[in-house]
Amino acid sequence: MNFHELNAVDIHGQPYDMAALKGHKVLVVNTASECGFTPQYKQLEELYEKYKDKGFVILGFPSNDFGKQEPGDEKTIAAFCEKNYGVTFPLMSKIETKGDGQSPVYAWLTEKKLNGVLDSKVKWNFQKYLIDEQGHLVTMYPSAQEPLSDAIINWVEGK
């Protein structure tokens, strides 16, 4: 299965078809408004602003899975991200990254039998997954990996 075969719902309740991302590099991140890593929104937005016109997209998936650090509804989350960090990259509806209610996107990201590359567990908020232009999983970075790190920038730039 390919990432471009998946679908989600954006934070405004509209369908979001991953097929629209063919030809784009994608960073998928699970987010939370009350986490120690929440300030990463600033770097995520900087990264998105710098590369959005060069075939790069960030998809934020709010989740309350870790420490109950995303208690708000979609409207509250969207307002928080816009007011505090000026977020313009696409945010999806709140999802579960693990367990029985795991979203299909996160099932694909975390299961090698689906993504063909690696098995991983989402261990905390702001874990990052990189997907190439053809919809293949490239790698995963832990929460502490800053969005503006050399590793992520070099990948986005094709170095």
For tokens 């009350």, the residue is: 34
CB 126 within 8 A of CB 9: no
In three state form, how does the secondary structure of the chain look?
CCHHHCEEEECCCCEEEHHHHCCCEEEEEEECCCCCCCCHHHHHHHHHHHHHHHCEEEEEEEECCCCCCCCCCHHHHHHHHHHHHCCCCCEECCEECCCCCECHHHHHHHCHHHHCCCCCCCCCCCCEEEECCCCCEEEEECCCCCCCCHHHHHHHHCC
For tokens 């063919």, the residue is: 22
Task: Kindly name the residue from 6, 27, 35, 105 that is annotated as catalytic.
Answer: 35
User: Is 35 an active-site residue?
Assistant: yes
Q: Please list the active-site residues.
A: 35
